[in-house]
A and B are shown apart, each in its own frame.
Chain A
Amino acid sequence: MTARLRRYVPFATSGLQSLLQYRSMFAMTAMTAAAGAAVTVFLWRAVYEGTPGRGPGGFTVAEITTYLLVAQILQVLHSNRVDDEVAAEVYRGDVAVMLVRPVSYPVMRFFACLPVVGANAVLVGLPVLGLFALIVPLSAPRPADLLLFALSTALSVLLAFCVNLLTGMTGFLTTNTWGVRMVKQSVVAFFAGQLVPIALMPGPLAALATALPFRGMVDGPLTLLLGRYDGWAGAAGLLAQQLAWVAGLSLLCAALWRAALGRLEVLGG
């Protein structure tokens, strides 16, 4: 097992090397993340303005600010470029080269995206968090909640990988993956609770959002971070739901990938 996994390590290190050549990219990602965070943070802070104590959804001003800011940072961790690269390689036919290698393409993609996630966390997530901490008051989490959040964030990264892989695989069907990616981005951001916490959605919409896998990407980790869960059983339930979706989506990815390869035609020799 370890020998088989060791095969994928070079993909992770080469991914890191190519990333570090475009260091200015991180500054830009940080700027866009900060801009995105600012829009939602200021919009909702205007709503909570003048409500002392707990406002809508039982959030205090500091809590809603923390929620929206960390949500934006999680989104940066989730943008692993897998959708983009898989789609491009599929419709250009480059994926054929990968098929002759003794590795699994989806697993290879997973290892290649790990350094992207790590670098984004350190070079984008932390600076943006620091910047906002200077401007707006944030709420400090309890240490136990921080631990649960870390665990949940790891699962959310896996979820994001699966969602992005599935999006990239639409390259088998259409060349306009730009359109598909844009739809995915908007829909996932909304139902993950990145723009509007699920606690603030009306009943039926909240029920739908809770049932979808995207909840585990943003709202799940943040519920744990802010301690908005119901005892240990509640926290375990949230993590279990995430885990179940990770398992389900991984199986779906594997099955669809196999089916798609069966139909793949690549021109040229």
Chain B
Amino acid sequence: MTRTMTRYLRLAWFLGGVGLHRLAAYRTDFVLGAGAFLVRVGIQTAVVGLVFRQVPAVGGWSYHEVLFLLGFSLLPRGLDHLFTDQLWELGRKLVQRGEFYRYLVRPVDPLFSLLSERFFHPDGLGELLVGAVLVAYAGSELGLSLTAVQWALAPALVLCGALLHTSVKLFFASLSFWTVTSMPAMYAASQVSEFSSYPLDIYHPTLRTLLTWILPFAFTAYVPSVYLLTGVTGLLGWLPLMTAGALALALTVWRRGVDRYEMTGS
């Protein structure tokens, strides 16, 4: 058991390094990708700024509180983006072009094998960095002082959020085993995740229910931010349960998909 673990960790480390070499090889591409990301977040922040030019509070949230939420939402997203974006390829074309078999013939778990093809997507680093800066800035403007428990929980909250993002992505990518390509569904889900950058309180109740219990993006930023900002635990207790549930569901769909693919493979 520990031997397999160390083997996987060493492989991940090595392949991550290989991924980093791409930065040097395709420098313009990297700069363009990171720059594109900065422009996107910059515009998102500008929209929040323009909203708060009109009113002091939106849905009971102040300007700096919304900035904190926006920044926090980038942390789990960036972490997920950094390691699992190869799943987009699965949804987009791997099944469609019949290329998926190559992950089944390698002597590692197929999911690891798929992700390891590109273990390190540097665009995610930009998201993490901007998110951290926004959170730190908004936190200091709010005079936020976290308790020891909050400090201890914060990394776990980010990790759970990242796992939720990964679960949703894995779920929709795995649908491609049945539908040949699931890129549009993945795109739709990632568009829905944009909701998590703003306070849940402003949305229609139906939408709130959807974002909490069906596509649980509320748990990636809103629930943790409420806890960190106000100390109110609210839905926090559900966070580990939702994460575990989402991950289990996504892995089940993935496994079924892989089995199905083997049956029909050429």
Q: Which residues of A contact B (CB under 8 A)?
A: 24-25, 28-29, 31-32, 35-36, 38-39, 42-47, 55-56, 135, 174-176, 178-180, 182-183, 186-187, 189-190, 195-196, 200-202
Contacts and interface: CB of A to CB of B under 8 A. Distances in A.
B55 interface: yes
Closest 10 CB pairs of A and B: A28-B184, A179-B32, A176-B29, A179-B36, A182-B36, A46-B202, A56-B54, A32-B191, A176-B32, A179-B33
B51 interface: yes
A200 B50 contact: yes
8 contacts: A42-B204, A47-B54, A174-B28, A178-B33, A179-B29, A182-B39, A186-B36, A187-B39
Contact of B204 (A135, A174, A183): A135
Contacts of B33: 176, 178-179
Contacts of B47: 43, 190, 195-196
B51 to A, nearest CB: 6
Given A42-B207, A176-B29, A176-B33, 16 more contacts: A24-B179, A29-B184, A35-B191, A35-B194, A39-B195, A42-B202, A43-B47, A135-B204, A174-B29, A178-B33, A178-B36, A180-B36, A182-B36, A183-B36, A190-B47, A196-B47
B168 to A, nearest CB: 14
B54 A183 contact: no
A183 B203 CA distance: 27
Chain B: interface secondary structure? Answer: helix
B149 to A, nearest CB: 31
A39 B197 CA distance: 9
Interface string B188-202: 100110110010011
Interface residues of B, number: 35
B185 to A, nearest CB: 6
Contacts of A189: 43
B222 to A, nearest CB: 13
B213 interface: no
B66 to A, nearest CB: 10
A165 B46 CA distance: 27
Nearest to A197: B50
Nearest to B203: A42
Given A42-B202, A176-B32, A179-B32, A202 B53 contact: yes
Contacts of A195: 43, 47
B59 interface: yes
B184 A196 contact: no
